[in-house]
């Protein structure tokens, strides 16, 4: 169950990171509210998952999921450029996250 909570928390990290960018310095209400709610939920989930998972593994997986989903969303939405180098780097992050899961 801790792994499921951790994955959901990692996805929520991508939500709050994206909302933070769209809030334009907290000047837009809706993205600012989404940021706050997703941030609290993401951190709470990470804290709950860390009850059963090693801190280093849990944090690395959480950040890896959040970073990967955030950049993929930005590339799909056209906010960031798509390149082979970027795609290879994302694959490396995913590989590292999977490796940490398999090693624990």
Any idea which of 12-16, 65-69, 87-91, 94-98 has the lowest mean pLDDT?
94-98
Domain boundaries, given as residue ranges, for the chain: 2-103
**Average pLDDT of the segment spanning 3-11:** 97
Question: Phi-psi region for residue 26, left (φ > 0), alpha (ψ -120 to 50) or beta?
Answer: left
- Residues 26 and 93: their CA atoms lie apart, in Å, by 30
> How high is the pLDDT of residue 74?
96
pLDDT tens digits, 15-74: 999 999 999 999 999 999 999 999 999 999 999 999 999 999 999 999 999 999 999 999
> How high is the pLDDT of residue 102?
86
DSSP type of residue 78: T
Radius of gyration of the CA atoms of the chain, in A: 14
For the chain, give percent helix, strand, coil, nearest 5. Answer: 80, 0, 20
Q: Is 80 exceeded by the pLDDT of residue 104?
A: no
95 pLDDT band, cuts 50/70/90, is very high
């Amino acid at each position: 169950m801790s792994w499921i909570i951790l994955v959901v928390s990692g996805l929520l990290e991508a939500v709050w990171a994206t909302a933070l960018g769209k809030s334009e310095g907290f000047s837009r209400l809706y993205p600012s509210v989404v940021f706050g709610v997703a941030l609290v939920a993401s951190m709470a989930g990470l804290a709950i998952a860390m009850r059963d998972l090693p801190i280093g593994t849990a944090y690395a997986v959480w950040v890896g999921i959040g970073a990967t989903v955030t950049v993929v969303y930005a590339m799909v939405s056209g906010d960031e450029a798509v390149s082979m180098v970027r795609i290879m780097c994302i694959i490396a992050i995913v590989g590292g996250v999977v490796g940490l899961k398999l090693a624990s």
